[in-house]
Amino acid sequence: MTDDVSAILDVKALSGGYGRVPILHGIGFSVAENEVVGILGHNGMGKTTLLKTLMGFLAPASGTVRFHGTDVTRMPPNQRAGLGIGYVPQGRGIFPQLSVRDNLRFAWHAYSGGPEEDVLDKVLEDFPRLHRLLDRDGGALSGGEQQLLSLARCLMGDPDFLLLDEPTEGIQPSIIEEMAETLLQLKKTRGLSILLVEQNFDFIADLSDRVLVLERGRITGELNRHELSDQTKVNQFLGLGAARATRGPGERGSRHSTDPGPIRGPEAVASASIAHPHSPPQDIRPSTVTAMTVKRPTLAQMREMANRFGMSLSDAELQEYSQIIEPYMQAYDRLDAMPDNLPEVRYPRSPGHFPAPSENPLNAWYVKTEVRGAPDGPLRGKKIALKDTICLAGVPMMNGSSIMEGYTPEIDATIVTRLLDAGAVISGKAHCENFCLSGGSHTNAKGPVHNPWKHGYMAGGSSSGSAVLVATGEVDMAIAGDQGGSIRLPASCCGVYGMKATHGLVPYTGAMPIEQTIDHLGPVTRTVADNALLLEVLAGEDGLDPRQYKPRTYRYTEALGRGAQGLRIGVLKEGFAHPNSESDVDQKVLQAADRFRELGARVEDVSIPEHHMAMDAWTAITLEGLQDGMMWGHSTGSNYRGLFLPSMTDHMAQWRNRADELSHSLKACMFVGEHFQTQYRGRFYGKGQNLMRRANERYLAALQNYDVLLMPTMPVKPQEIPPADCSISLYVQRAFEMVANTAPFNGGLPAMSLPCGLIEGLPIGMMLVGPHYGEMKIYQAAHAFEQSGDWRTG
């Protein structure tokens, strides 16, 4: 914009987002009178957030917005509309049950510049297509007609400045062309200025006097009108290949074309790509509505990849390969343009709020919210906290790490939907350990989580907040996750019940993973009955989780009240007297075993030497698996079918540029995992899986003679939280010193921690282990023990 043209909109240093979740970072630009400015960017770059902030639906954290010289930064949306700002939201936002006429009438205001009928007639002159649709319900219109209605409705307020949010989304090419012509005419006849955010390059280039590029909440560049007509300049500037468009390549630059030509389906396009891999790109370009293309590798990037592969290729050969792979790059173009196939979010909610220290004294909460589910069901009215690895759509998630802070998922995890369908109320997200790599509760980026029984002591990890919130009664139940004991360890430390069910019984879909073969989700509760009830709701196949292999489910509440008479319990010798075991912990658990004898159970010692070997196998599986999948695979990895969440992958990838922010415990794991993956080619990961299978065979052989195995959940009492300036060695020691009994059963067998006594005012947990899908016997034994007396006085 030239200095001699007055600005209708002036934005300076604008930052903001959703609550304390930053999305926009110091954005500044101006829009002149009668100017169209386009903002181009991929999904997730902050385009919609920017428009909502400019319209006043989101409050900025800093910066200013001036309209016609008036500071509107803190002005509500209705006042901005009265000044002349019109907003057409993404998704159109029409009233589907109102007629087109009533949709338009609803948007008339006293500031609309004339009587309602006059304004309506004037708008219909600009949108003749809507004349014949006036009495039709908005929901009966096509997508393109709804978009035209949304734009017409905005003009009922007689704005002189329009904010348009992706108006071409899901619209056929002929309507897009009509919309472009209409907007250009409105700019001419009404003197409108327009701020347009889009992914469709042809549309934004046809309309815009200049285009700003938005990447991750920042304006990273600008193209003027002359540069927009230079395709080479566009491709070079954006770092993209051939820019995709509404029109085919022969039509580029033809603003008035209304014949989109034949639309080819994705199957035909894919077939063409594979059948003719060396064809020129234009031969297989689909004439469908598309958005920005993916970036093509530069020659330098091709060279770098070839060097990594150990290939000796000349520049000419690399350039030829660039041409060869172009059809396949276009497959990615088309993927990028398509809407993703993600689960529907069924229940309304707000983003919640970050609690102040006064309402979060143990630092157990990350976000507090209230998402209400069905009006009835087995969990009706039950307040539930989710471990902050579990996706709750629209609510922030950070997995204990500053790397993930600022991420908000757009889906509900499978178990969240099941909870809400069962009538539960999601009360918020519970703090967990930094990327879940700690059995202590001292690694969260927001500070340590404190034991509810003794402040300054470990609450256990990694599901630290989940157990604390249940123990304090702030929620009725919680969901935790477990890769090496992270359900059972905090349950033990906080004196509650935590079940890590058989691997795959509870779908992990929509939760942030560490390693697929050890990932578990499960219930944490104050009673065995609640635990069994919650597992009934959670368990079962969802068709999206590769960890599941035809799980067998039961009515777990039917195990309650059966007593311990006749139960066969094997006290695992190798679960006691570890090098770091505390004798009073061992003794407390052995006393609990004696109580089972008093209840009529047959209690015997059993030895399984492979228990120690299983710990070593788990170490290789976990450290190499997390490095391959969680770190280099950005918590997604590949080689499996299931639900993928690209937004989580993108956010997790930031660790590569922010590795210093990772916790000491994760860094230690990464060094080991990377060494053995690179120097030993992953052979120990494979051997660890083989030996874990042998350990499970030994456990199962013993479980043919016993219903459950019994041992301490942790070999030690909850330890003091180390000071913030402690040595790295102490930090890491406190993260992993307690997993010797829990980690071996992340090979797949179900295991539950139940409180069995207090030592020095801190709870002690006893762990019961069963065969695959043996949760019924575990619940039977746990309930019998619970009902035999108050564990606090035992």
Distance of alpha carbon 16 from alpha carbon 323, whole angstroms: 42
Beta strands 365-372; 70-71: pairing state: unpaired
| Structural tokens at position 416 | 């969240």
Distance of alpha carbon 645 from alpha carbon 653, whole angstroms: 13
Task: Show the DSSP H helices in 435-570 as ranges.
Answer: 464-471, 488-494, 528-538
The answer to whether 492 is a known catalytic residue is no
Contact 761, 454 (CB under 8 A): yes
Distance of alpha carbon 559 from alpha carbon 268, whole angstroms: 55
The answer to whether 322 is a known catalytic residue is no
Contact 370, 35 (CB under 8 A): no
HEC letters along 301-324 = HHHHHHHHHCCCCCHHHHHHHHHH
Distance of alpha carbon 707 from alpha carbon 691, whole angstroms: 23
**Which candidate in 150, 427, 462, 647 is catalytic?**
462
Give 794: exposed, middle or buried? Use CB within 10 Å, 0-12, 13-18, 19+: middle
* Helix, strand, or coil (residue 143): helix
Contact 156, 113 (CB under 8 A): no
Distance of alpha carbon 621 from alpha carbon 695, whole angstroms: 14
* Helix, strand, or coil (residue 382): coil
Rounded to a whole number of angstroms, the CA Rg of the chain reads 30
Distance of alpha carbon 556 from alpha carbon 780, whole angstroms: 9
| CA 41 vs CA 26, 199, 253, 503, 544: distances in Å | 17, 6, 21, 41, 30
Distance of alpha carbon 499 from alpha carbon 751, whole angstroms: 6
- What CA dihedral angle connects 412, 418, 420 and 421, to 10 degrees? 130
| CA 506 vs CA 75, 510, 511, 545: distances in Å | 47, 12, 11, 9
Peptide bond into 401 cis (omega under 30): no
Contact 745, 574 (CB under 8 A): no
Contact 21, 396 (CB under 8 A): yes
**Which candidate in 193, 441, 464, 486 is catalytic?**
486
Phi (first) and psi of residue 374, to 5 degrees: -60, 155
* Helix, strand, or coil (residue 521): strand
- What CA dihedral angle connects 652, 654, 657 and 658, to 10 degrees? -70
Buried b (16+ CB within 10 A) or exposed e, 121-159: ebbbebbeebeebeeebbeebeebbbbbbbbbbbbbbbb
**Polymer length of the chain:** 794
Q: Compute how many other C-beta atoms are within 10 angstroms of the C-beta atom of residue 5.
A: 12
Contact 223, 233 (CB under 8 A): yes
Beta strands 383-387; 425-430: pairing state: parallel
For residue 87, give the nearest of 95, 78, 96 by alpha carbon: 78
**Which candidate in 52, 387, 429, 717 is catalytic?**
387
The answer to whether 486 is a known catalytic residue is yes
Distance of alpha carbon 674 from alpha carbon 616, whole angstroms: 17
Ramachandran area for residue 602 (φ above 0: left; ψ -120 to 50: alpha; else beta): beta
Q: Which residues are known to be catalytic?
A: 387, 462, 486
